Amino acid sequence: MRKFILLFILLILYHNLLAQIVYEPVNSPVYEFLEQMSVKGIITYQDIIKPLARKNIANYLIEFKKQENKLSKVEKDELYFYLNDYQDEIKRLSCVKDTTESYNFIYPDFQSANLFNYKNELFTINADIIYGYSIQNKFGKKFTHRWNGASVYGYLSDKLGYYFNFRDNREESKILDPAKTLTDEMGITAIPKDDGLEYSEAMGGLSYDWNWGSISFVKDYLTWGYEKSGNVVLGRKAPTYPYIRLDINPAPWFSFNYIHAFLESRMIDSLETYKIYTYQNVDRVIYRKKFFASHTVTIKYKGLSLSAGESMVYGDEIKALYLLPVMFFRLADHYYSNNNNDAGDNAQFFFNISSKNHIPNTHIYTTLFIDEITLSDMFDKQKQRYQVAMNFGLSNYGLFFDNFGFTVEYTKIFPFAYQHYIKTTEYSSSNYSLGHWLGDNGDIFYLSSKYKIFRGLDIEAYYKYLRKGNGGLSDSLMRLRQYTVPQPQFLWGKVTNRTYVGAKLSYQFWHNLFFQFHYEYTNFKDELNDFSRTFDYQLGKNHNFNISIYYRL
């Protein structure tokens, strides 16, 4: 079955391939630039699902170039800066065939975006080092973070795009938190060593592209929706996981996306685990298998986009119907489970509405994530269950004066969203939520403003207030409450309150060289003083400082 599917895909690709794609990291600053320009209505920019291909980003930059008369001086400088970064992709889009061989290592004029690149008629490779160092005064304690690695990407003929990057990390402090509790920091799998934490990150992928779509096999982050304080559908909390991605764009107004991911359950399979008869007599540990499938339809019209999607988290073995991109997963679950909930999988639905520049220079967006809802008893307070998450946001850029933007956003996550009583079907990977980093039963109000002083130099101020409930109960008691009616009220249980007020000064010296100074005032209150969630040194008022310098994201 699997060999047949693979052969079918390869046959399609053989007849339709025209170009190649490489994905741009989800934390790249180019996304913010494209978003700001689309908010001004200069071009239609579709980024409900990220990362985007470098080829697509180059195409957007080409369209911006045609309307550069609408840009401020700082925006023009940024445009030409990114046009240089994506010159290889721009040449490919222009069908410029360069048959000459070239080799460069650290351009003398420092105009290359990579330290090393090589190209000939068949093959291109771009390589770079990754290095960063951060020192912080965090909750009155010293904290350092060092990371280093390498990044490689390129193209092979007109059929294959590839990329790979990895980094080793070390954090040192007296107040380390390997679980990254109640923070938007990306989740890690760390090894404690010598008063520090060590962990590695790796991303990579192979991709094919044709004139109306693309297919990729990658290990990377994956986000769904618009946000400034966290995505309620697919966020960046869970460590990267491998997935197959199919994107179809048969018309300018319509797009379709399909994902099949291979998650980490972190649940030991006691039946498959076996003894290794060595002098230590240890177990060979086998973990339960866990998977994720989703598909999304997006319809676009003059700055308005409507997206609707469905996903399924399932375990134990790959199921054929979840490999079918056009299948209604909920009905496939009924087929496999024979309508037995204990044998079933975990389905979700999600929706997004985005309006850009209908109000001048403004982006209005809202996302709804439905984990579970009882429509028949929606208005019966004694029977209703609505395990959902939602956000509402408004971003404005350039309305009051050039190069200035602000965002207002509110996120609310009702009790027990993302949770499931069968752990291999829970909406998580590596014990981190696939959705919002806050988890269930909480909300966030977020306000930020940002001003570009000149190209590469930004100053940002922000305010964030969050609440998180259901403290003080064991995991087993929590799961018992999940399936009782009526559902517990929002913010039930002991509540944690956190206030953040901060400012950032960021400067991009060169294409991949960054400096950042960050100040943040925090005020944490926890009704329970539950140090598994709020550590004692975090409570009360604190002034935190962070200085970072890094080469390549």
Summarize pLDDT for 354-373 with one digit per residue, the tens: 999 999 999 999 999 999 87
Of residues 399, 392, 393, the one with CA closest to residue 357: 399
> Residue 72: which domain range?
2-551
What is the C-alpha end-to-end distance of the chain, expressed in Å?
Answer: 40
Strands (E), 59-140: 102-105, 116-119, 123-138
Q: What is the pLDDT of residue 1?
A: 45
H or E segment to which residue 84 belongs: helix 73-85
Query: Token pair for residue 459?
Result: 């100053």
Span 4-22, pLDDT tens digits: 445 444 444 444 444 578 9
Q: How many CA atoms lie less than 13 Å away from 315 in the CB half-sphere? A: 22
* 115-119 mean pLDDT: 85
* 35-39 mean pLDDT: 90
Bond prior to 486 in cis (omega within 30° of 0): yes
pTM above 0.75, yes or no: yes
Rounded Cα–Cα distance for residues 257 and 58 (Å):
20
Rounded Cα–Cα distance for residues 295 and 347 (Å):
12
Rounded Cα–Cα distance for residues 397 and 469 (Å):
34
Specify whether the CB–CB gap between 378 and 384 falls below 8 A.
yes
pLDDT higher than threshold 90 for residue 500: yes
DSSP 325-391: TTS-HHHHHHHHHTT-GGG--EEEEEEEEEEESSSTTEEEEEEEEEEEE-STTTT-TTT--EEEEEE
Rounded Cα–Cα distance for residues 271 and 27 (Å):
41
Question: Could you tell me which residues come within 8 angstroms of residue 397 by beta carbon, excluding any fewer than 6 positions away?
Answer: 36, 39, 40, 361, 363, 404, 405
User: Does residue 140 or residue 534 have the better pLDDT?
Assistant: 140
User: Does residue 410 or residue 180 have the better pLDDT?
Assistant: 410
Of residues 445, 552, 398, 502, the one with CA closest to residue 33: 398
Rounded Cα–Cα distance for residues 316 and 308 (Å):
27
pLDDT higher than threshold 80 for residue 458: yes
Model confidence at 386, pLDDT cuts 50, 70, 90, reads: confident
Specify whether the CB–CB gap between 408 and 393 falls below 8 A.
yes
What is the torsional sign of CA 386, 221, 240, 324? positive
Span 415-440, pLDDT tens digits: 989 988 888 999 999 999 999 999 99
- As for how many domains the chain has, the answer is 1
Q: What is the pLDDT of residue 17?
A: 43
Span 69-90, pLDDT tens digits: 888 999 999 999 999 888 888 8
> Among all chains, which residue has been given the structure tokens 């770079």?
128
Model confidence at 157, pLDDT cuts 50, 70, 90, reads: confident
Of residues 271, 311, 275, 274, the one with CA closest to residue 289: 271
Strands (E), 398-456: 404-413, 428-429, 432-433, 442-454
CATH number of the domain where residue 469 is located? 2.40.160.130
Q: What is the pLDDT of residue 279?
A: 65
pLDDT higher than threshold 80 for residue 505: yes
Tell me the three state secondary structure of residue 240. coil
